[in-house]
Structure formats: C-alpha cells, structure tokens
C-alpha cells in the first residue's frame, strides 16, 4: 500500500567525500524499493525528506550526499539534486543530492 514516510537527513553525515574541506558528506538512507522522493524541508529545525513509498516493498540502500554552497559537485558521482536548506543560523546553505545508480 502506498503511503508517505519521513526520513532524517543529518547535517553531519558520517562519511566525508575525499577532497572536501567543509561539508561534502555522503550517507545512506534505507527506503522501500521504488520510493519516490516528494520533498525536502526542515521540521523543528532539522532537515527531513518525505517520500511516497509502497510499505510492502523490501528496503533498499539509497546513497545521498550533502555539499555546501560554493563547493564543487563531485563529477565521479552522477546525482540528482533533491533540495536545499539553510543551517547554522542561516549562515550556511546545504544542498542534498541522490547518487544515481
């Protein structure tokens, strides 16, 4: 059955992308196979991702990365832009991308 699920997006993901001094972090979110990303927004000051999912489907890994404004977009990881949000008292803007398979 289709429904909408919410996923956490960390502003401090665990895996830095080589060559990035600030930001440029990669992480995985487990979503049901075929999940369609609906939007990225902040809720209670934290970035969240909402997706339309079939909750009967098994989970799959989906790879994402975050970069800050002014950073280079990795050319070795073709990706789809998802959205942006302001952080650090609006002094920094992060941009979320999903790595294409």
- What pLDDT is attached to residue 73? 84
State pTM to two decimals. 0.85
Closest to 62 in 3D by CA, of 79, 74, 47:
79
Q: Tens digits of per-residue pLDDT, 76-94? A: 878 999 999 998 888 889 9
pLDDT, residue 33, reads: 98
Q: Which pLDDT score is estimated for 2? A: 97
Domain boundaries, the chain: 2-99
Residues of the chain with pLDDT under 50: 21-22
5, with CB counted inside 10 A (0-12, 13-18, 19+), is middle
How long a stretch of residues is the chain?
Answer: 101
């Amino acid at each position: 059955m289709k429904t909408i699920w919410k996923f956490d997006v960390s502003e401090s993901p665990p895996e830095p992308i080589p060559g990035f001094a600030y930001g440029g972090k990669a992480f995985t979110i487990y979503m049901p196979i075929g999940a369609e990303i609906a939007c990225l927004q902040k809720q209670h000051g934290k970035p969240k991702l909402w997706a339309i999912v079939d909750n009967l489907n098994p989970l799959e890994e989906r790879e994402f990365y975050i970069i800050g404004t002014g950073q280079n977009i990795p050319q070795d990881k073709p990706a789809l832009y998802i959205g942006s949000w302001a952080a650090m008292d609006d002094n920094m803007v992060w941009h979320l991308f999903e790595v294409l398979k």
